[in-house]
Amino acid sequence: MPRLVVIGGNAAGMSAASRAARTSSEWEVSVFDAGSDLSWGACGMPYVFSGEAAGFDSLFALSPEKISERGIETRIHSRALELSEGRKKVVFRDEKNGKTFEEAYDALLIATGSVPVIPDIRDISGDNFFVLHALSDGTGIDAYIKKERPRSVCIIGGGYIACEMAETLSRCGMMVTIATRSERFLGRLNKKFREKLALELEDNGVRMFRGAEITAVNRDRGRVISLETTRGKVPADFFLCATGVRAATDFLKGGPIPLGKKGGIETDGMCRTGVSSIWAAGDCCCVRNIVTGKHSYAPLGTTANKMGRVAGFNITGGREEFPGVLGTAITRVFGLEIALTGLGHREALEEGFDAEEASTLELTRPAYFRGAKETSVSIVCDRNGRIIGGQVIGGEGAKGRIDALAAVITGGLTVRDAMHLDLAYAPPFSPARDPLLTCLYALEKKLAR
């Protein structure tokens, strides 16, 4: 019986293992993971702190019993150290006892995910310094908050986790400061939308230190007490580092598998690595951007699940292609929903597109209907009118509008095509002319000049 070895037991790895086991009973499927937790949803962690998710245990998608019922063998605390692709073996280390061992494979899927990026600054660690990446990070922060009752937190970074945790910890009663090296926090947002987000954070009591390069760390008795930055000193009771991630592929360096941006494995549409019998999927990979055709590092849970399904099917004899991504994403920060897909105007220009952009501000419902909120829409197209990106920020309805734009871009529609989309209308949900269409009309006018 041929054997599939999967390195990594979360979104991509477990999706691949499950589909391989379901597709063919002829394969033995074994999943190895360096940690102790399999098949869980990292994106839910901020909402455990806010009480919107039931608890950390609720984040598990599959129990060990369910995984076993699918015919999948699992081995936790098993860290991949190196590949011996010529012998079709992987060298692992048992993280409990430190011993190394080898596992043979007929097919190998690398789904090792990502690791957090920590600023390379002396002494940036301590009993009150955390990241939020593994499940143990979440439970560790939770235990710290319950024991120490911190009144203030400094969040380092300006991405999704930083913004989501700023809301969550603020609702927990803490004084929150965001310190980000770049002025362009949530960097893919256009400038106008980014300023709306900054204002929403500040209006809800979050202090913003933008363009604050950390120059030194002040510690006392094993704890960080403040950061020295180019914008001044930032003291806090505890610190959360949310400065991004990179691919967890250090064990592949120097080997035959090519690595791209942030250490990501570059795969083809079948999720093959180019090395015989080795596939890869998820946050350890660079993925093809549908608009540009180039590979980039865009780690998202939805992408990991889809790539895992494709890889598991192909490994067991199927033929399916993963077309790539648009980087579609959404988050909520206090009263704002923020969503984006494809390229922003600045990104489009950097990629060499002769790009045009229109932005509009509308209400989410008719003016006469109570509860109407403002929403801003931005849409980007090339000079031929092909839509290549969009962003939505407002009080409600961002998901539906960004999903529609993602479908439009994937389908290759032009502005003129999309202007005639038959979008749903009823006063509780939208004005008669949806804000998406209003923005498309504005963009069509720009193109006609």
Asked if residue 16 lies in contact with residue 6, where contact means CB atoms within 8 angstroms, the answer is yes
Token couple for 330: 């959404």
Classified as helix, coil or strand, 400 is helix
> Model confidence over 206-225: pLDDT tens digits?
999 999 999 999 999 999 99
- What's the DSSP call for residue 396? S
Q: Is 29 exposed, middle or buried (0-12, 13-18, 19+ CB in 10 A)?
A: buried
Q: Looking at residue 167, what is its pLDDT?
A: 97
End-to-end CA distance of the chain: 66
Residues with Cβ within 8 Å of 410's Cβ and at least 6 positions away in sequence, in order, are 290, 323, 326
Separation CA 50–CA 167 (nearest Å): 9
43 is catalytic: yes
Block residue for tokens 């209003």: 438
CATH number of 3-115+245-315: 3.50.50.60
Task: Pick out the chain residues at pLDDT < 70.
Answer: none
- Give start-end residues of each CATH 3.50.50.60 domain in the chain: 3-115+245-315, 129-241, 329-444
Q: Looking at residue 184, what is its pLDDT?
A: 77
Asked if residue 146 lies in contact with residue 157, where contact means CB atoms within 8 angstroms, the answer is no
Residue 89 is inside which H or E element, if any? Answer: strand 89-94
How many other CB atoms sit within 10 Å of the CB of residue 285? 35
Q: Looking at residue 85, what is its pLDDT?
A: 87
Q: Looking at residue 68, what is its pLDDT?
A: 93
Q: Looking at residue 285, what is its pLDDT?
A: 98
**CATH T-level assignment (fold) for domain 329-444:** FAD/NAD(P)-binding domain (3.50.50)
Asked if residue 8 lies in contact with residue 112, where contact means CB atoms within 8 angstroms, the answer is yes
Type of residue numbered 429: F
- What pTM, to 2 d.p., does this model score? 0.94
Q: Looking at residue 449, what is its pLDDT?
A: 79
Q: Which CATH architecture has domain 129-241?
A: 3-Layer(bba) Sandwich (3.50)
Separation CA 317–CA 315 (nearest Å): 6
The catalytic position among 43, 163, 241, 286 is 43
